[in-house]
Every structure is written in C-alpha cells, then in structure tokens.
Amino acid sequence: MTEQDHILEVTDLSIHFGRGDGLVKAVDGVSFHVGRGETLALVGESGSGKSISALALTRLAPRAAVYAGGQVLFNGTDMLKLPERELRDIRGSQVSYIFQEPMVSFNPVFMIGWQIEEALKLHRKGIDRAAEVERLLDLVHLPRRVAEAYPHQISGGQLQRCMIAMALACSPELLVADEPTTALDVTVQREILNLLAELSCKVNLSVLMITHNFGIVSDLADRVCVMQKGRIVEEGQTRRVLDAPNHAYTKQLMAAVPRLRPKD
C-alpha cells in the first residue's frame, strides 16, 4: 500500500494537558495510517491515549488539550491547520464518529427519524430526506417504524444501529468507532461488529476502531496498532499480532481476553 492509498496519515502526533510539573503527555509522538477501505484497530487500556488520538483527527479533543506537534493528513489535507469553518464541513460529512453510549448522542425529546434528517439537512441539500432515512435504516437492518420512535423506546443495540445510520447519513469516507460495543450485551456486540464489517465492504468505508478488547479485533480489523501510555508500542497485520505478539504489553492485553475452557 502506497501513501496515495492512505485516506488518513497521522505523523508524530503529540497532545499534552497541563504544564510544568503537571504536564501530561496524553499522546506522545504517535504515527499511524488508515488505507482506503481498510479497518485499523487502535487497541489499549483506558488512559492509553487512543480516544484522544481519535478525537484529535478533527480537532475534537477537549479545550484543555494542547496540540504540541505532528501532522494529521486526511486526503492530503492537514486537519491541524484548517480553520474551524472548513473543519465543520469535514466533520460528519467526510469523517463521522460513533461512540459507546448511543443514548448520550440522541436528543430524548425528538424522534429518531427527525434527528437523522437533521444530519442530512446540514450536509446534503436537495434530497428526499424521508426516503433517505428509510434507506439508511434499511442499511443497518432496522425496520422503518424506528424512524417514529423516541430514543428511550428502543433497545441499546437498535439505538447503536441508529447512531451508525446517522454517521453514514452523509456518506463519509472515514468512520471512527470509539468503543462502539462496550455498553452492549455480548450477543448484541457481535451483531454490531458484523454490521460494521458488512458496511465496510458494502460502501467501501474506511474504519478506525478504538477498543481496549483484543477479543473483537480478529474478525474486523485488517491491521492493529497497540497503544500504551500515549505511544504505539506494536503494530502490524492483525493475524501476525494475534499469532505472534512481540511486545509484553500486547501479550498482557491478549491474556486478559476471556476464554471458554473445557471442564476437567
């Protein structure tokens, strides 16, 4: 894969919080790339810097964050140098996010269909929004009646599918999925992961998957980057990392994955 095939190229990204003796290097010289149509998993425990790295792609990190260095090229454009107006045009339309708590991302007093239409209204003019909402719900395997439901009236798994539908509303090129299955039951987690894999192929979507769990990586990711204390300590093709991890931290993460064992 050449650099021209990279939709995202992150080089020496550094993000700091605080100053002086209280300085925290949340992201410390991180470099990775995502190819077109590829799924990259960024794996690490809480506090490793993976979520901040993901938010930094479109400068969504908290206000206290200091972008201390590095480059984030999306389709060749450095996102860290873009004015806010141009960034707003890219967020949602070209780079979309889904998060682990879908209920937080929806307004409880508006129906699902209306909220998806609002995303369409912002970025896509002159289309039949109601028909597009139906198409998006069908894409994520939900019945059309969900459009007339309020967030509290559907299950967590259905709400996560609605969030994916909203994220895809403007046909983004890159989907950033930040722990998208953490709050879901195990069987529902598998359904959501299968859906993401299906959509990646169906709409040629590039995916950056943020997770602490190696158990969900094997069937979804093409490559893996392992983060510890703000740095990437190992990266490679998923199969290689799973079969022959090099770094002690990678081995610890893999050992933490629950496994079913036969009875004695």
Handedness of CA 76, 92, 200, 204 (dihedral sign): negative
What is d(CA 86, CA 89) in angstroms, rounded to the nearest whole number?
5
Which token pair is 163?
Answer: 């969030």
| 102 contact partners, CB below 8 Å, separation of at least 6 | 151, 156, 159, 160, 162, 163, 183
What are the tens digits of pLDDT across the range 32-77? Answer: 999 999 999 999 999 999 999 999 999 999 999 999 999 999 999 9
What are the tens digits of pLDDT across the range 155-188? Answer: 988 999 999 999 988 889 999 999 888 777 888 8
What are the tens digits of pLDDT across the range 90-147? Answer: 988 899 999 877 777 899 999 999 999 988 887 787 788 999 999 999 999 999 999 9
What are the tens digits of pLDDT across the range 177-235? Answer: 998 887 778 888 888 888 888 888 888 889 999 998 888 888 789 999 999 999 999 99
Does residue 264 register a pLDDT over 60?
no
Q: Where are the domains of the chain?
A: 105-171
